[in-house]
Every structure is written in structure tokens, then in C-alpha cells.
């Protein structure tokens, strides 16, 4: 199923009621198509994170915001 993403839509990052024991990071480029046929597509950098395999967050060109969200959760350190 294809989804339509709005460029200017801002969603809040989810809050985790539990301590985080895993952080997975990803990043790359994504192609944003326009509604007008024949108009040039735009490529944007994205960054994404998954916390404990449950909570997901992603940003376009706002690495600091994603980093602050990850750092706002308590992390469990295993030795």
C-alpha cells in the first residue's frame, strides 16, 4: 500500500514509558515526488531511529531534534 506524505506535516515523537535497552539508527536519501506530472522530484536526507524495537522517530535535515529525542529517554546499560 502506498502512502502520501505531506512535506510540511510535523508529528511529535512518541514517548516511551519504559527504559530503552536498544537503539538502532538509519539514514540516507529519500525521493519526494510532486503532485504535478513532469515536475522535478526532490531528494532529501533523512535520519531515523528505533528505540527498543518499538518506538520510531525520523526527521528530514534536523539531526539535532532526533538526537535530543533519543537522549531524553533513560537507557539501560548492560555490562
pLDDT band with cut points at 50, 70 and 90 for residue 4: very low
pLDDT for residue 2 is more than 50: no
Which residues are within 8 A (CB) of 58 and not within 5 positions of it... i.e. 6 or more apart? 46, 47, 48, 49, 66
- At 3 the pLDDT is 42
d(CA 20, CA 57): 14
Which three-class secondary structure state does DSSP give residue 18? coil
What are the extents of the domains in the chain?
23-71
pLDDT in tens, 9-66: 666 666 767 777 888 889 999 888 888 888 898 888 888 888 888 778 888 878 888 8
What is the average pLDDT across 66-72? 83
pLDDT at residue 55, rounded to an integer = 79
The two counts, helices (H) then strands (E), for the chain are: 1, 3
Amino acid at each position: 500500500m502506498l502512502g502520501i506524505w505531506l512535506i510540511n506535516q510535523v508529528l511529535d515523537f512518541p514517548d516511551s514509558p519504559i527504559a530503552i535497552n536498544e537503539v538502532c539508527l538509519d539514514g540516507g536519501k529519500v525521493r519526494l515526488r510532486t503532485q504535478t506530472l513532469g515536475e522535478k522530484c526532490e531528494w532529501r536526507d533523512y535520519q531515523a531511529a528505533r528505540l527498543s524495537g518499538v518506538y520510531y522517530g525520523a526527521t528530514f535535515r534536523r539531526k539535532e531534534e532526533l538526537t535530543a529525542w533519543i537522549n531524553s529517554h533513560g537507557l539501560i546499560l548492560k555490562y
